Chains A and B, each alone.
Chain A
Amino acid sequence: MWSIIREAFDKTLLVAKAYGILHITNSYLCTVALAYGPSMIPTINLTGDLILAERISPRIGKVGVGDIVIVRSPVVPRRVVTKRVVGMEGDQVTYLLDPHNSDEVHSIVVVPRGHVWIQGDNIYNSKDSRDFGPVPYALVEAKLLWRSFVRGASIPVCKFACDWSSGMCGRLKILVQCNTYQDRRGK
């Protein structure tokens, strides 16, 4: 009987070790994530794209304007969002207050010290720094490295998001401001 217990213990230990290695790689090296939602169209698909994000760059301070980053949401702490960095600390950011209704209203913001200004590529349907203000740099968790070529991995949860957003998509004018940022299409 003791041999069974010992074998169970050994197997559990093996699983724990494997999980530990996986977890450390995931938290400190690079992580795989599924990014979905309408806020980064056309860069990231509505129904989901598999992305590879690395966690080393934010720690050594190599995040800059134009990078797509994974950021912990300042409004809902359990949620993690994918947006593009538009301004670092000290930058002046210009953005449209109400892109649906007018083109002329701009607002200029100086990003405070220790913060970044993030915006979704699809400014018509994105909750980003235009809503919740500049985000402290320490909330930036990972920088996008690669996006899968197979677009639109659909999972059941995304179907709901797709149905809800399809009403919005009909009114979209996708005005891509990619001439000012590097366009990080999957390598």
Chain B
Amino acid sequence: MSFQPALQAPAATPISQPLARAPHPLRPIMKLLSYIKQWKSAARETIARASIAAQFLSLIHITDAYICSTTLVQGPSMLPTLNYSGDVVLIEHLSHRLGKLEPGDIVVVRSPVDPKKIVAKRIVGMEGDRVTYLTEPSYSESSRTVLVPKGHVWIQGDNVYASADSRYFGAVPYGLIQGRAFLRIGI
């Protein structure tokens, strides 16, 4: 067995350059995880603040929709009670749910002709009442008497000469009433 000289030593790697390592296969994911860790605390605080804001907004909304709210009412149909160019009115939403509305109350009602519009008028007759009204107040004295059907109310504006109310679109179902105006804050 002849002694074979050692194979030529491999070329010495220069000491200053470290061996190149293969890139870790999961490196982008690990980067993402580290970013997420950094932002986790910020996200937690954001969620906490957002939930406080959401609770506050829902409290305001529940008060506004079910207890008391304010509206700007304008137009000529409730002169002289309400101003033509606008009045801020406080509306309470409890009476109509408890069934405590009476003739003479000013109510805020969703219009049966245009579902997006809300009008303020006065209740003249509840269900079962007989209501007499002037059909053409500007021109003649002729009047008509009508029986308010079950589940409906008859609303009229205080200014009968310029008011589109139940004389025009008939008795309004009680379910369309949104609230009762109880305080006027005149501008």
Taking Cβ atoms with an 8 Å cutoff, the residues of A that contact B are 17, 20-21, 23-24, 72-77, 112-115, 135-139
Indicate if the CB atoms of B58 and A74 lie closer than 8 Å. no
What is the number of residues of chain B that contact chain A, defined by CB distance less than 8 Å?
Answer: 20
User: How many Å lie between the Cα of A136 and that of B111 in the bound state?
Assistant: 8
26 residue pairs of the A-B complex, CB under 8 angstroms, read A20-B58, A20-B62, A24-B58, A24-B62, A72-B173, A73-B175, A74-B151, A74-B152, A74-B174, A75-B150, A75-B151, A76-B150, A77-B174, A113-B113, A113-B114, A114-B112, A114-B113, A114-B115, A135-B173, A136-B112, A136-B172, A136-B173, A136-B176, A138-B110, A138-B115, A139-B176
Overall SS of chain B's interface: mixed
Of chain B, the residue at the smallest CB distance from A141 is: B175
B59 sits at the interface (CB 8 A) = yes
Residues of A near B113 (CB, < 8 A) are 112-114
Residues of B near A77 (CB, < 8 A) are 151, 173-175
Indicate if the CB atoms of B174 and A20 lie closer than 8 Å. no
B49 sits at the interface (CB 8 A) = no
Residues of A near B110 (CB, < 8 A) are 136, 138
Indicate if the CB atoms of A76 and B59 lie closer than 8 Å. no
Residues of B near A138 (CB, < 8 A) are 110-112, 115, 176
CB contact between B61 and one of A24, A112, A115, A136 (< 8 Å): that residue: A24
B46 sits at the interface (CB 8 A) = no
Report the minimum CB–CB distance from B115 to chain A (whole Å). 4
User: How many Å lie between the Cα of A100 and that of B55 in the bound state?
Assistant: 55
Residues of A near B172 (CB, < 8 A) are 136
User: How many Å lie between the Cα of A155 and that of B94 in the bound state?
Assistant: 31
